[in-house]
Copies of this chain bind each other. A is one copy, B any other.
Amino acid sequence: MSLYYHLFNSPFTTDLFSEENMIVTMLKVETALVRAQAEEGIIPRESADKLIELLPHMKVDSDDLRQQLSVTGTPIVGLLNQIKSQLRQRDPEMVNLIHLGATSQDIVDTATVILIADYCDWLSSKLEELKDILVGLVRRNPRSLMVGRTLGQQASLTTFGVRAAHWLGSICRSTIRLEESRTRLNKIQMGGAVGIGNSFLSSNVRHRVAENLGLENAPAWHTQRDNLVALATELGILSGSLGKIAIDIIGLSQSEVMELAEPPGLGRGVSSAMPHKRNPVLSMVIRANSQRTPFLVATMIAGLPQEQERSAGLWQAEWEVFPQIMGLVAGSMEKSIELLGGLEVRTDIMLKNIDRSNGLVFADRVMMALSRTLGKEKAFSLVSQASDRVSNQEPLMLILEELIPELSGEELKNLFEVDPVQRDAENTIREILSQYGYTL
């Protein structure tokens, strides 16, 4: 495991996809199969019961397992070999009762689905945590004025609450879509050699296996991986939405902007060369992850055309990649919670930055207001001319006063009112919140 691994990933997924936990989960699947076959009377109850009790306690030698994996190309053959040699010493009959009718892919895929279910449970709770934090940010800042920026340029006024509401919206949509995707995937894989089952894998047996494992029964999906890939793409989208938050924060915490700052903390973001630096390292990690996940997700999509009843390579290409996606998304979620939970929102600097624009960020609203009397064409042209002349010495208001002498002082002042901005912002926020069951 690389030195850097822990920066980008989460301890939760490190444990979840540890060799140990994967083996435990595979044995859980083999056990559920034995139990199902015993319940259906296909194998002798007594021996099965003993086996069910023993299976979770089998010792597995990692080195041997890896060695056999590299020879057979599947983790199951080696795993079964180890188990059988232990069982053989106790009761040779039990050896005959394991893995009856199943193929390696049945065990590997069902175990993966179980791990994914655990992951999705964890992710759900993290998503709730993140949404709570974001709702808080929105509620505290509905009218906190800030400059809206397009293509890197100061554009027009908005509020920080709107930005946070958009972040929230993306997380809410991800929550909904992820819930759908995980539900669709929540199925056993239990098809035998070529996926049509057999006398040991009757419909009843499969039904019981599913029940034993808390999953749904389903026809085999050995080379029909769309449900899996659909979940992967949703994780990729979540990673991208977190990346959007990160890139926003990186942009707004630039030295020249400083409207946001990552949560302070001892040593947070210090540099080995520059004593004054406070690097936005949480955002940096989230962004780095969002840079990598699209490619991993694409690997999953590219793996869909799996030939015939089992692919020589495309299925196996998923084995490391899907856990990597889950690991990076988990890492990004944890960092996002930390980042947004302690985010410094510098509303004072937001106001200062508005002032520094010398009125330019009011230009489009001023233009629209003037449109009502002058017509849009003339208004656009006048404000455009005025904007070109704006400087520290001559803010927009002053220039307009000169260019449009017929405006009264009151009218001129009204053009630069921020109240309409805040009202529009609040309306936008309310619309977003209400879509997801929140109130302001």
- Alpha-carbon distance A355/B43, docked complex (angstroms): 32
Closest residue to A328 on the B side, CB-wise? B320
A123 CB-CB contact with B under 8 Å: no
Q: Is the CB of A4 within 8 A of B319?
A: yes
Q: A346 — which chain B residues lie within 8 A by C-beta?
A: none
- Alpha-carbon distance A314/B248, docked complex (angstroms): 14
Closest residue to A6 on the B side, CB-wise? B66
**Stretch among A51-59, A70-78, A131-139 lining the B interface:** A70-78
CB distance from A407 to the nearest CB of B (A): 17
Q: Is the CB of A317 within 8 A of B291?
A: yes
Q: A319 — which chain B residues lie within 8 A by C-beta?
A: 2, 4, 7-8, 288
CB distance from A89 to the nearest CB of B (A): 14
Closest residue to A303 on the B side, CB-wise? B291
Q: Is the CB of B193 within 8 A of A148?
A: yes
User: Which 3 pairs of residues, A with B, have the shortest CB-CB distance?
Assistant: A240-B304, A148-B194, A73-B281
A296 CB-CB contact with B under 8 Å: yes
CB distance from A222 to the nearest CB of B (A): 8
Partner of A291 from B103, B314, B357 at Cβ < 8 Å: B314
- Alpha-carbon distance A279/B23, docked complex (angstroms): 23
- Alpha-carbon distance A170/B225, docked complex (angstroms): 9
A432 CB-CB contact with B under 8 Å: yes
Q: Is the CB of B7 within 8 A of A19?
A: no
CB distance from A88 to the nearest CB of B (A): 9
Q: Is the CB of B226 within 8 A of A237?
A: yes
Q: A101 — which chain B residues lie within 8 A by C-beta?
A: 273, 368
Task: For the A-B complex with A173-B227, A290-B305 known, give 17 more contacts whose Cβ atoms are closer than 8 Å.
Answer: A3-B75, A7-B319, A8-B316, A71-B268, A97-B376, A103-B274, A149-B307, A170-B226, A197-B428, A199-B369, A226-B240, A250-B313, A279-B312, A288-B314, A292-B320, A293-B301, A297-B298
Q: A425 — which chain B residues lie within 8 A by C-beta?
A: 196
**What is the 8 Å Cβ interface bit string for chain A, positions 362-376, against chain B (1 contact, 0 not)?**
011101110100011
A183 CB-CB contact with B under 8 Å: no
Q: Is the CB of A193 within 8 A of B364?
A: yes
Q: Is the CB of B248 within 8 A of A237?
A: no
Given contacts A307-B248, A309-B149, contact A424 B197 (CB under 8 A): yes
Q: Is the CB of A103 within 8 A of B306?
A: no
Q: Is the CB of B274 within 8 A of A155?
A: yes
- Alpha-carbon distance A331/B198, docked complex (angstroms): 37
CB distance from A420 to the nearest CB of B (A): 7
Given contacts A306-B244, A368-B200, contact A219 B428 (CB under 8 A): yes
Given contacts A279-B153, A295-B299, contact A272 B194 (CB under 8 A): no
Given contacts A173-B226, A240-B304, A276-B390, contact A1 B1 (CB under 8 A): yes
A391 CB-CB contact with B under 8 Å: no
Give me 9 A-to-B residue pairs in the complex whose CB atoms sit less than 8 angstroms apart, sorted by A's number.
Answer: A76-B272, A151-B284, A166-B223, A197-B424, A197-B428, A218-B435, A256-B256, A284-B316, A302-B302
Given contacts A279-B151, A308-B248, A313-B288, contact A99 B371 (CB under 8 A): no
Q: Is the CB of A375 within 8 A of B244?
A: no
